[in-house]
């Protein structure tokens, strides 16, 4: 009894420290922003120490967003892992969930600090716009602050009560975990209101007065961005957690540690890829909403100046798929019996590479005059054919299918199905994959013969075929492997260091990709604060050259990882203390 109340006290104390931190930060933000606004001469725009106000906001907002993505994404799979631990009664899952959560506490602080800096910057550098937006959305601001406190309390308590709420009380801890995610999701949805309103304003009249707050909130891009970010957060969180595991693996001194972090890296990368696969579909939805809201914005995103950046996106996604397959194949080395599947690797590699190339091929682009005459039109005569969206859809669907297949082979690595229908089952599985691939290819080719408005609909069939094939495959796989004969246990920890670099590569690429997509999302507003409504009239309201933009994305990525390494360092340091 006395022991438990002692822990309750510690848990409450830890939680209160979180609340205190946030309170102090908010107070400081208020004072600094107020002080600067009063001290600096009144203006519609201010520069950031002589530098571009646009770039200053960009860097800080992106860093804040990355940390936010991390702290919102990690609890989602932490609590799932915790549930798995309860369901399987395997303690290692509970330990892993705790390990994931440990990364959070420190990351929360950094997220909040960055958020406060961002707030000061928008108030000081864009006073007029910020004034307008906060007047429009005042109720949501207040809600946001309430949600932040709620999130901090619940998340800190979730962490500090981990050992306290075990055994019979575990269900309360799980409930807390679910609550953390509900609040986190609400936070994300509220923050997305402001962002999406600036892209696709609704609920205001011609003079900019609010006519319906609800319409402004549920503007056309709000839900697609919510879903897109939710998925991306999980993928991102998984990738960063895997990178953490990779560092710990490389620094491990004992076999036991190596095994533990090898496994953690595997789970993290699995989560990253699993959440990543539906992401292009959410992206299509978002793209469609953007087109529907403003054809012009849609075209400048996909066919205008920003189109060139999608080539980079394709390169990153291709790289991610290649790296994850590479990691899986290296991982098969620790699975006795996986040698049986090595023969698939070369063909899969070829397929992925072809898909990668097709996806990275530029399509219709609003090029400058000289470029256009060099290419002989806005469509390249030959590349145009492969560059159009239909080919890209086909390629990405096949790449997803291939990666899925790699995962399934990996899963089966050390097992031999024993059920009587094993052969039939495997044939059906092969047929399912082949059918999906055929459907994808068929519509891919057929779409060259139909106008674009019909073609758009085809991507639904392609996606549908891939998703259906994946679900049927898994639905067969689970009973198929029930009671399967194990060739040997997975030798966790026996994986080459190269594989850890594949994990780093994935984390870096995810981060860079997020930075790039964030830039495109925000950048397609061009010289508008609020698209089509409020113009950015500051000196830096221009779209910079892609080369400069990508350098800034790289700088953001490097700063992010430097900050993350502080989080990692704190996390592993805390453990050293606990081990004593």
Partner 1 sequence: MTFFKIFAFLLMTVSIYSYVGQLVPQFEEHPPVKKVITVATSAAELAAIGEELVQVKGGCLICHKVTDVGNDRGPDLRQAAGKAATRKQGMSAETYLLESLIKPEVFTVPGFPQMMPPALQPPANFNRAEVKAVIAYLQTLGGAEVTVKIETADIPVVKEVDATSPVIALESPWSHEGVRLGLVILAFNLVMLAVLAIAGRRKTS
Q: Residues interacting with ligand HEC, by CB under 6 A?
A: 295-296
Residue closer to partner 1 by CB (options 316, 440) is: 316
**Is the Cβ–Cβ distance between 548 and 322 less than 8 Å?**
no
Cα 255 to Cα 198: distance, rounded to the nearest angstrom? 52
CB 528, min distance to ligand HEC, A: 16
- Binder of residue 250, out of ligand HEC, partner 1, none (CB less than 5 to 8 A by kind): partner 1
**Is the Cβ–Cβ distance between 399 and 437 less than 8 Å?**
no
CB 373, min distance to ligand HEC, A: 22
- Binder of residue 526, out of partner 1, ligand HEC, none (CB less than 5 to 8 A by kind): partner 1
Residue closer to ligand HEC by CB (options 283, 303) is: 303
CB 299, min distance to ligand HEC, A: 6
Residue closer to partner 1 by CB (options 426, 546) is: 546
- Binder of residue 53, out of ligand HEC, partner 1, none (CB less than 5 to 8 A by kind): none
**Is the Cβ–Cβ distance between 234 and 76 less than 8 Å?**
yes
Nearest CA among 140, 370, 392, 384 for reference residue 283: 392
Helix, strand or coil for residue 528? strand
Radius of gyration of the chain (CA): 25
Take residue 402 and report the two structure tokens written for it.
């291939």
Q: Which residue has the tokens 């100046």?
A: 305
Element spanning 534, H or E: strand 534-535
Phi/psi of residue 259, each to 5°?
A: -65, -45
Residue closer to partner 1 by CB (options 398, 553) is: 553
CB 301, min distance to partner 1, A: 10
- Binder of residue 297, out of ligand HEC, partner 1, none (CB less than 5 to 8 A by kind): partner 1
CB 51, min distance to partner 1, A: 17
Cα 410 to Cα 529: distance, rounded to the nearest angstrom? 48
Do the bridges between strand 528-530 and strand 534-535 make them parallel or antiparallel, or are there none, so unpaired?
Answer: antiparallel
CB 298, min distance to ligand HEC, A: 8
Phi/psi of residue 202, each to 5°?
A: -150, 165
- Binder of residue 27, out of partner 1, ligand HEC, none (CB less than 5 to 8 A by kind): partner 1
CB 107, min distance to partner 1, A: 18
Residue closer to ligand HEC by CB (options 151, 289) is: 289
- Binder of residue 371, out of partner 1, ligand HEC, none (CB less than 5 to 8 A by kind): partner 1
Residue nearest to ligand HEC (CB): 295
Q: Using alpha carbons only, what angle is made at residue 514 by residues 510 and 518, rounded to the nearest 5 degrees?
A: 175
- Binder of residue 442, out of ligand HEC, partner 1, none (CB less than 5 to 8 A by kind): none
**Is the Cβ–Cβ distance between 550 and 516 less than 8 Å?**
yes
Handedness of CA 321, 314, 361, 394 (dihedral sign): positive
- Binder of residue 76, out of ligand HEC, partner 1, none (CB less than 5 to 8 A by kind): none
Strands, DSSP E only, in 466-517?
A: 485-486
- Binder of residue 218, out of partner 1, ligand HEC, none (CB less than 5 to 8 A by kind): none
CB 211, min distance to partner 1, A: 12
Strand partners, 204: 210
Residue closer to ligand HEC by CB (options 296, 435) is: 296
Take residue 319 and report the two structure tokens written for it.
């790289």
Nearest CA among 316, 307, 362 for reference residue 520: 307
Cα 495 to Cα 499: distance, rounded to the nearest angstrom? 7
Residue closer to ligand HEC by CB (options 52, 300) is: 300
CB 216, min distance to partner 1, A: 13
Residue closer to ligand HEC by CB (options 295, 575) is: 295
- Binder of residue 501, out of ligand HEC, partner 1, none (CB less than 5 to 8 A by kind): partner 1
Residue closer to partner 1 by CB (options 416, 535) is: 535
Cα 508 to Cα 66: distance, rounded to the nearest angstrom? 12
Residue closer to ligand HEC by CB (options 177, 298) is: 298
């Amino acid at each position: 009894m006395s022991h438990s109340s002692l822990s309750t006290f510690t848990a409450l104390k830890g939680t209160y420290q979180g609340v205190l931190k946030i309170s102090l930060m908010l107070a400081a933000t208020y004072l600094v922003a107020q002080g600067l606004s009063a001290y600096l001469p009144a203006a519609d725009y201010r520069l950031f120490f002589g530098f571009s106000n646009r770039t200053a906001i960009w860097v800080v907002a992106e860093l804040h967003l990355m940390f936010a993505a991390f702290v919102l994404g990690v609890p989602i799979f932490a609590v799932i892992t915790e549930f798995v631990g309860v369901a399987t009664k395997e303690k290692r899952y509970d330990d892993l969930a705790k390990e994931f959560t440990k990364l959070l506490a420190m990351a929360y602080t950094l997220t909040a600090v960055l958020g406060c800096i961002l707030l000061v910057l928008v108030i000081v550098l864009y006073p007029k716009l910020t004034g307008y937006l906060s007047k429009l959305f005042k109720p949501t601001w207040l809600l946001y602050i309430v949600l932040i406190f709620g999130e901090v309390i619940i998340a800190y308590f979730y962490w500090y009560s981990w050992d306290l709420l075990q055994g019979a009380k575990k269900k309360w801890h799980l409930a807390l975990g679910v609550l953390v995610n509900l609040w986190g999701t609400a936070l994300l949805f509220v923050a997305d209101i402001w962002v999406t309103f600036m892209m696709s304003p609704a609920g205001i009249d011609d003079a900019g007065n609010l006519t319906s707050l609800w319409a402004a909130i549920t503007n056309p891009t709000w839900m697609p961005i919510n879903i897109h970010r939710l998925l991306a957060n999980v993928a991102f969180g998984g990738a960063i957690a895997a990178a953490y595991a990779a560092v710990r693996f490389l620094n491990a001194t004992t076999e036991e540690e190596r095994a533990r972090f090898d496994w953690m890296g595997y789970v993290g990368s699995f989560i990253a890829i699993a959440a990543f696969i539906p992401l292009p579909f959410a992206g299509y939805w978002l793209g469609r909403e953007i087109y529907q809201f403003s054809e012009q914005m849609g075209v400048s995103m996909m066919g205008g100046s920003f189109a060139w950046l999608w080539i980079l996106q394709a390169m990153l996604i291709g790289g991610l798929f290649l790296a994850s397959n590479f990691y899986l194949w290296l991982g098969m080395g620790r699975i006795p019996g996986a040698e049986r599947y090595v023969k698939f690797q070369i063909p899969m590699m070829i397929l992925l590479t072809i898909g990668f190339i097709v996806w990275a091929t530029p399509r219709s682009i609003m090029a400058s005059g000289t470029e256009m005459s060099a290419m002989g039109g806005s469509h390249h005569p030959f590349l145009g054919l492969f560059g159009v969206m239909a080919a890209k859809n086909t390629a990405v669907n096949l790449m997803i299918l291939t990666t899925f297949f790699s995962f399934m082979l990996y899963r089966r690595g050390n097992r031999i199905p024993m059920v009587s229908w094993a052969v039939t089952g495997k044939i059906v599985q092969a047929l399912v994959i082949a059918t999906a691939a055929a459907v994808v290819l068929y519509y891919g080719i057929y779409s060259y013969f139909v106008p674009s408005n019909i073609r758009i609909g085809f991507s639904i069939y392609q996606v549908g075929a891939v998703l259906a094939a994946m679900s049927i495959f898994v639905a067969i796989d689970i009973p198929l492997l029930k009671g399967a004969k194990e060739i040997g246990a997975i030798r966790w920890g026996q994986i080459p260091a190269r594989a850890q670099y594949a994990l780093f590569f994935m984390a870096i690429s995810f981060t860079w990709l997020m930075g790039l997509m964030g830039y495109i999302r925000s950048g397609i507003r061009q010289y508008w604060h609020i698209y089509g409504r409020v113009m950015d009239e500051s000196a830096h309201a221009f779209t910079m050259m892609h080369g400069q933009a990508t350098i800034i994305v790289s700088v953001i990525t490097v700063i992010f990882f430097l900050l993350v390494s502080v989080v990692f360092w704190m996390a592993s340091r805390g453990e050293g203390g606990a081990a004593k």
